[in-house]
Chains A and B, each alone.
Chain A
Amino acid sequence: NAGVTQTPKFQVLKTGQSMTLQCAQDMNHNSMYWYRQDPGMGLRLIYYSASEGTTDKGEVPNGYNVSRLNKREFSLRLESAAPSQTSVYFCASSEALWGRREQYFGPGTRLTVT
């Protein structure tokens, strides 16, 4: 099993460009999450999907959109990138929502917006 995979691993964008971060899991998990991690700060939740067909905003959703394409895949889109979105993005999945089951994390995508 590959676990949680993310693409790309690194990306540099110019302000105003758009891109989609891809995430897939092969553990048949119901719930998936997108986090960002900034230097000196804890991980912060951007969006989550409790189950296939549902998505909800987290703590810092502005500037992002998500799609739960199917049970395996959960993508994060930046429509018009801004320097404030420079961060490391982690996708995660879990069998059940939130703290009832442990979360499995992808390797992260390091995004720089210039």
Chain B
Amino acid sequence: KNEVEQSPQNLTAQEGEFITINCSYSVGISALHWLQQHPGGGIVSLFMLSSGKKKHGRLIATINIQEKHSSLHITASHPRDSAVYICAVRDNYGQNFVFGPGTRLSVLP
């Protein structure tokens, strides 16, 4: 079983829609990261969180430690949000940083 799973694998939305991407993990963690990988390949860190909720512009990330689940929300989606969104966790029991497989988002105008 993969330590980090994401859903959906692919997502197509119309401009303006509210989008939710989910991440679930099976191990104890110290922090969870959300990353964005642009179509050109560049990777940018969006959020790092260990509890609660963080907001940056139209992006909101939440985490529920007890349920081992995090969500990334995009409000008023725009075609420039089209990217792969990756969830990653640091495993408390290992010396590793484990990445989910990513969610490919396409926002159509």
Contacts and interface: CB of A to CB of B under 8 A. Distances in A.
Interface of A: 33, 40-45, 48, 56, 58-59, 88, 90, 92, 98-105, 107-108, 110
B97 interface: yes
Contacts of B29: 99
B90 A99 contact: yes
Contacts, number: 59
A92 B97 CA distance: 12
Contact of B44 (A58, A101, A105, A108): A105
Contacts of B66: none
6 contacts: A45-B96, A45-B97, A98-B31, A99-B48, A100-B31, A108-B42
Given A90-B43, A107-B41, A108-B41, A43 B86 contact: yes
Contact of B33 (A33, A45, A99, A108): A99
A11 B44 CA distance: 23
B38 to A, nearest CB: 10
Contacts of A104: 45
B4 interface: yes
B101 A40 contact: yes
A43 B32 CA distance: 15
Contacts of A105: 35, 42-45
B101 A103 contact: no
Nearest to B100: A42
Contacts of B35: 105
B96 A42 contact: no
Given A43-B99, A101-B48, A102-B33, 6 more contacts: A58-B95, A59-B96, A103-B45, A105-B43, A105-B44, A110-B41
